[in-house]
Amino acid sequence: MSSLPDTPAIRDGEGSLEASPRRRAGQRSLSTAGLVIAAVALVGLLLAPFFVYPVFLMTVMCFALFATAFNLLLGYVGLLSFGHAAFFGGAAYFTAHAVKVWHLDPLLAVIFGMAGAGLMGLVVGFIAIRRQGIYFAMVTLALSQMVYFIFLQAPFTHGEDGIQGVPRGDLLGFIDLNQPLNIYYFVLAVFVFGFFAVWRMVNSPFGHVLKAIRENENRAISLGYRVERYKLGAFVMSAAIAGLAGSLKAIVLQIATLTDVAWQMSGEVVLMTLLGGMGTIFGPSVGAALVVTMQNYFATSGFPVTVVIGVIFVLCVLLFRRGIVGEAIRLMRR
């Protein structure tokens, strides 16, 4: 009996009765740490506009939500989309047009942009999910480029000029969004809603099926799951939340341009997700904050920010393959 604790099975936490409670305790510790980090981050975001330029913070939140939506598809389903800029930029155009031309309430315009992106996601996803791997990525890229040229030629987008001077308006008719703190807390509320929606999906039975599909699609099929329906559902929800981010961006920066729907934007969100940590809740937000911060502070310095981002990406791939947050979680588990 005295030699039992020294056996490799128990020492490594594999194949023993003591392994399961130890693993459960570790998972509880990680969950508690995640809740503490989320609470601290929320308090920090509530106080941040008093110390940091609000427009910069709102831009970070928009791209963090975009990366979180993309991570729902890549990190939890294993589908690499090169066409998510179509939903992000499409919703930006829809919202900008609704606010400037139709004079909709900002909240209704954001919901309209999100719904439009979700509808686009339904059409694109219905076509794309029939393919796998690189073929899926290429189909999404091709359809995204088609959307790009539609927005380039559509009359309401104003071509290469985009929709400029988008009014922020009055939220619910009485909250002036031209006031920095008012629009900041509106964006923060929408960001928290979108982030919580992704977290809830990931930790629901639906999310567990998505993870099963990512790990072994054939086994999920053998268990009776309609895999294509789950993929399509995840694709539509990812597109809708990406559209929510694009709608916020149009309100915050008061412009919607072709840059938002270009393929470079799709590549940028891939970079954000991989830098922060694919398949983690907080990773995409960290990656988005890092990329947007570098773009913001290097923009006026004449320093080649794309080179710096490229070097960081290469180092991340070589040394931190799980991303910043992914590696931090691995160290905590050890």
pLDDT on residue 160: 84
pLDDT on residue 28: 61
Cβ(55)–Cβ(238) below 8 Å: no
pLDDT on residue 20: 55
pLDDT on residue 4: 40
> pTM for this structure?
0.87
pLDDT on residue 31: 67
Maximal CA-CA distance, the chain: 80
pLDDT on residue 88: 94
What averages of pLDDT result for each successive group of 10 residues across the chain (334 residues)?
38 41 59 77 88 91 94 90 92 93 91 94 91 88 92 87 87 86 93 92 91 88 89 94 94 90 89 87 89 81 74 78 78 74
3-state SS, 214-246, equals HHCHHHHHHCCCCHHHHHHHHHHHHHHHHHHHH
Strand 163-164 and strand 170-171: the pairing is: unpaired
